Amino acid sequence: MTGLPPSLSAYLLSAGAVRLSPEMPFTWASGLKSPIYCDNRQLLGFPPARSAVAEALVASICNSKIKPTLIAGTSTAGIPWATLVAEQLKLPLAYVRPEPKKHGMGRQVEGPLASEHKVVLIEDLISTGGSSLKCIDALRSEGAVVIELLALFSYEFDKARTALEQSNVSWRVLATLSDLLETAVQTGAINHSGRQTLEAWRADPQAWSDNIRS
């Protein structure tokens, strides 16, 4: 489910938070070749975009039937968005590491104890869903009820959808790759051929990457 008005997909593109390059693919840290690169932290440098995203996150939470008692952000890119939301809603804030610290208190959830809290976890990007699920498991292990995972953007991989559904967590995203491609074509950021390339990549990113290398 998406909640961003079309103008915010344009923000993602104009701020350079999402870059599309069908002809000259990016290389991810995993080595995977991709025609898209997402870094939503770029939005933080653009006050109108930052405010619009924060307002959309808050509105999404306020429209939910179950109200949270704690806002959590994924480390590190989800933290600033969670901070903005927690401040507007006047709720406690925590952040979650993918793994527990190997020193000090060895905590994975930093901030107030999540026990018995109703938590909305804010993530900047859902790709395979693996890092989000690690954070959800950490919150649950502390005794929290994760009422929703809320993300800025999703590549819409089937793998992520399946993993999140199996984890029995409610989740929503503000903008999907489908939304973004529609805006990108309308604004001339890519042509229809470029859109088809990105849709082929989304359907099977590994096979698409392997084909580029060969």
**73-105 per-position pLDDT tens digit:** 999 999 999 999 999 999 999 999 988 877 877
Please report which helix (H) or strand (E) contains residue 73, including its range: strand 70-74
Please count the CA atoms within 13 angstroms of the CA of 44 that sit on its side-chain side. Answer: 12
Query: What pLDDT is attached to residue 7?
Result: 66
Each residue of 111-142: pLDDT tens digit? Answer: 999 999 999 999 999 999 999 999 999 999 99
Query: What pLDDT is attached to residue 6?
Result: 53
Each residue of 179-198: pLDDT tens digit? Answer: 999 999 999 999 999 999 99
pTM to 2 decimals?
A: 0.93
List CB contacts of 110: < 8 A, sequence separation 6 or more. 75, 94, 95, 96, 97
CA–CA distance from 168 to each of 149, 174, 203 (Å)?
11, 20, 24
Of all residues in the chain, what percent carry a pLDDT higher than 70? 96
* Beta strand spans in 93-195 (E): 93-96, 109-110, 118-126, 145-154, 171-176
Q: What is the mean pLDDT of the chain?
A: 92
Classify burial at 183, counting beta carbons within 10 Å of its beta carbon; exposed 0-12, middle 13-18, buried 19 or more.
buried
pLDDT band at 13 (very low <50, low <70, confident <90, very high): very high
List CB contacts of 83: < 8 A, sequence separation 6 or more. 73, 93
Contact 3, 64 (CB under 8 A): no
The residues spanned by each domain of the chain are 6-213
CATH topology of domain 6-213: Rossmann fold (3.40.50)
Please count the CA atoms within 13 angstroms of the CA of 1 that sit on its side-chain side. Answer: 12
